[in-house]
A and B are shown apart, each in its own frame.
Chain A
């Protein structure tokens, strides 16, 4: 057998594949995967076609071949001609006189003449497909790898399986990462939509609060100044009275005191005090207005709380209207309220507020003429509540209508709309077990209808 091995021209092949030997190590394959099957190449010493069956059997016992199901049969010049498997040898040797009958015959007598031969450049996926098409049960053979120069080595089916599994795991990790990225960017968008509408709202509120604060502060400052004058007048008058009634020492300065009273009376008189009362009435009104705004703001401050509460939809409508009041007033838009008798509704009030706010500000933005009008109507129907927001603005083109609830869909100029407002509204209404519908006629106006179940999302479930 030693002689047979020595006679075998293995050296060139062995040296040829020696540099690839490192790839034999499974860890190395994981660390630096070569493209395609090259990463799985084993520099197996092939057997020659004329080698005897017994010698081939001997080679299977070589520890270097312990992991191999089969050995390649390669002709001079590197042309693979067949594959001989342990399974086939075993089948023959187990037969009575099998060893004696076949032992001395060349291996070509037993080999598989149509082994699976794959070019080194084959991709793992393609190899997996080809192997799956060829493989027999039980798996008895590995496969031959060739390059331009002919035989290059062998590859194990098991290694291909591992590689495929590795790639699948890698891909699913990639998918997971992509999914996570998508999810976070979506929640960022929802957040930025929220912030955009919040920013708009805050700007309006700051103005709404600072206006009454402006006259309140001014009125208070003026009242303080006037009270100072009034106090001086009272004490000057008292001094004059005291001098006249003899309560105090009569002094020579009576004339001066009279003059002082006269002067102060030009600054503080009944009319001025009357005016001051008027200013204080304004002040009370202004403080009341600020208080009301702050109260409305409280409803919006818990945007993230989704907790279900009993809420009066009419109050939500009124509070949303107050928040957008500055926009409506700026555009001289008339608001017509037709609020019906509505039972308390199970809902997340902050979220419904967001929907109403979105519909109202969309309606206001759609109006580009001077006779703007927004109708807000509520109505109870069976166990449902209907909310209608209707404007007489420019309307929505028929081709845009089916897309208005799509995320990112906007007809507003760049930077003015995120295209998320109606998408989020749609989501909120659906989560409440309700529905939102739109109808529009370009040039005439748009009507949004929101239907919500009185008993909340749970009650809406079929």
Chain B
């Protein structure tokens, strides 16, 4: 069943965009295009599609709606949003509902788009093959996944850790780290399933640290709680940090609970099938984290890197 080329579906209400993309990807993949979100979902239901690249603002269905449906029908399909305007609501929904792989803005850089789509296609083909080989692998139940899992809460305030503690089963260990150093130390010493971080400023180390962290610990999932309505920050967290959930502060209880449950389940899944980790691969961060770091923080990073190397070895 292995097709010679991966199949990529492009969705955009502007025919000229589709024409341009067809030309760009000619010979690189099997190209499917449609101007209708509904038709895109139909395609994915009818046949295997490795990657869906969708515009956001379209008549009928938005891109996030399309990608959410795609995820429901074909979880192995990699999802990319390619849009001309990043309004905060769309970016937030693309993380929380679409669980997208990349958020790319128009106008795009041709080579970056080609590389990203090809990388996504590689991951998806692998996952499709995996799913075909193990069709009946039962999903671990939420109760199983919770056992012995560890959750780190990075917040200088005690309210968020308390809320997280209250929302999770008793078997889950919730650790509170008031600063980044503490979080990194936790991560170096233990297998942490989920990091919940409160982000209070755009220029802090936390966002950059989350990106670095994803490279060192791809199986650790990040939930960010923030009052910052900064779409650029969030796009960075998606593309370079594969943030799992982004909740606007004050995070509604139910959203936080569901996000935590989903993250723990995903983590357990990733641990049992480490092949899937590629789905969480990230772009190289644009900034090195050391620029503003203190000695103690630097040391924490070093320990974490060593620990990561040991684990891989």
Give the interface of A toward B (CB within 8 A).
203-204, 206-219, 221-222, 275, 278-279, 282, 285-286, 326, 329-332
Contact = CB atoms under 8 A, between A and B. Distances in A.
Contact of B107 (A203, A217, A282, A330): A217
A332 B23 contact: no
Question: Which 4 A-B residue pairings sit nearest by Cβ, starting from the closest?
Answer: A210-B84, A214-B106, A207-B85, A215-B20
Nearest to A216: B107
A206 B85 contact: yes
Interface residues of B, number: 27
Nearest to A213: B107
A214 B57 contact: no
Contacts of B14: 211-212, 215
Interface of A is mostly: helix
B59 A219 contact: no
B143 interface: no
Contacts of B87: 203
Most B CB contacts (10 A, CB to CB) among A203, A210, A218, A326 go to A218
Nearest to A221: B110
B230 interface: no
A332 B60 contact: yes
A216 B105 CA distance: 14
Contact of A275 (B17, B23, B57): B23
Nearest to A204: B85
A207 B60 CA distance: 17
B57 A210 contact: no
Nearest to B86: A206
B60 A215 contact: no
Contacts of B83: 207
A211 B60 contact: no
B168 interface: no
Interface of B: 13-14, 16-17, 19-21, 23-24, 55, 57-60, 82-85, 87, 105-111, 113
A278 B16 CA distance: 10
A431 B7 CA distance: 60
A209 B13 CA distance: 14
B23 A214 contact: no
A148 B17 CA distance: 92
Contacts of B109: 217, 221
Given A218-B110, A221-B110, A282 B16 contact: yes
A218 B108 contact: yes
Contacts of B20: 214-215, 218-219, 222, 279, 282
B111 to A, nearest CB: 8
A157 B113 CA distance: 89
A223 to B, nearest CB: 10
B54 to A, nearest CB: 13
A279 B19 contact: yes
B104 to A, nearest CB: 10
14 contacts: A207-B57, A211-B55, A212-B16, A214-B82, A214-B84, A215-B14, A216-B107, A217-B109, A218-B21, A219-B23, A278-B19, A286-B16, A326-B57, A331-B59
B154 to A, nearest CB: 30
Given A203-B85, A218-B24, A330-B59, A210 B16 contact: no
Given A213-B106, A217-B107, 7 more contacts: A207-B85, A211-B55, A211-B106, A217-B108, A217-B110, A285-B16, A332-B60
B10 to A, nearest CB: 12
Nearest to B58: A330
A289 to B, nearest CB: 10
B107 A329 contact: no
A210 B17 CA distance: 11
A305 B105 CA distance: 34
Nearest to B87: A203
A196 to B, nearest CB: 14
B107 A210 contact: yes
Contacts of A204: 85
Nearest to A219: B20
A212 B108 CA distance: 11
A204 B84 CA distance: 9
B64 to A, nearest CB: 14
A278 B24 CA distance: 14
Nearest to A281: B16
Contacts of A278: 19
B13 to A, nearest CB: 8
A216 B87 CA distance: 22
Contact of B59 (A214, A216, A218, A332): A332
A209 B83 CA distance: 11
Contacts of A219: 20, 23
Nearest to B113: A218
B159 to A, nearest CB: 25
A140 B87 CA distance: 79
A279 B23 contact: yes
A291 B87 CA distance: 24
A394 B57 CA distance: 24
A369 to B, nearest CB: 13
